[in-house]
Amino acid sequence: MLEQPTAPAPTGFDGIQIGIVSISDRASSGVYEDKGLPALQEWLTRAIRNPLTFVPRLIADEQALISQTLRELVDAGCHLVLTTGGTGPALRDVTPEATLAVADKELPGFGEQMRQISLRFVPTAILSRQVAVVRASSLIINLPGQPKAIAETLEGLKDAQGHSLVPGIFAAVPYCIDLIGGPYIYTHEAVCAAFRPKNAQRPLPA
């Protein structure tokens, strides 16, 4: 059974440092413009109330380089690291292997839910190999490569009235970061309502 942290009285919004990593041979070499980093930053800025600092990296599909980058971002104090790209079955797609190589714990539910969301659109979603892991007090999540798919997997799917059809994975991220000793993340509920047990919830800072 998961230990449920007791929430102290708030003293304000904690600042959060987030690592965002776009993994692409062609974008990192300048063949085309990277769209992963702007998509990650745009969605996170809409979804999170806390002050944010982004640490971006645009790198090639090299397993050792990916693992090194993830370790550096965690060591630099990023409690959340999101990657995009390199999660398919192609020979150069090595992001999951590089992520698992730096893991203390694996969290399979994140990848399972991302594939469920993507299967609503394409049967080839079963080829995606995204993983999520904990390293020290940081959560690392592999996301899809396309900006539209990034937003869908983070936010989930809603009907025309704005009601949730399929929950996005980010709803579970703030509580996961609580459990591993990171900062308390407040979200904009219209974008993504974070779920926490009642005894772990804090009121919004004044």
**pLDDT value of position 60:** 96
**pLDDT value of position 72:** 98
Kindly write down the DSSP assignment for every residue of 68-126, as one continuous string. HHHHHHHHTT-SEEEEES--SSSTT--HHHHHHTT-SEE-HHHHHHHHHHHTTT-GGGG
List pLDDT tens digits, range 62-107. 999 999 999 999 999 999 999 999 999 999 999 999 999 999 999 9
CATH of domain 16-200: 3.40.980.10
- Angstrom CA distances, 33 to 28, 66, 84, 86, 187, stand at 9, 20, 14, 16, 30
Per-residue pLDDT of the chain (206 residues; tens, 9 = 90+): 445 555 554 458 999 999 999 999 988 988 889 999 999 999 999 999 999 999 999 999 999 999 999 999 999 999 999 999 999 999 999 999 999 999 999 999 999 999 999 999 999 999 999 999 999 999 999 999 999 999 999 999 888 877 778 889 999 999 999 999 999 999 999 999 999 999 999 999 97
Distance (Å, whole) CA 137 – CA 178: 9
**pLDDT value of position 5:** 52
**pLDDT value of position 9:** 45
**pLDDT value of position 1:** 46
Q: Which two tokens stand for residue 147?
A: 């900006």
**pLDDT value of position 163:** 78
Element (H, E) at 28: helix 25-28
Q: Return the SS3 of 127.
A: helix
**pLDDT value of position 158:** 81
**pLDDT value of position 8:** 52
Answer yes or no: are the C-beta atoms of 148 and 43 closer than 8 Å: no
Distance (Å, whole) CA 186 – CA 47: 9
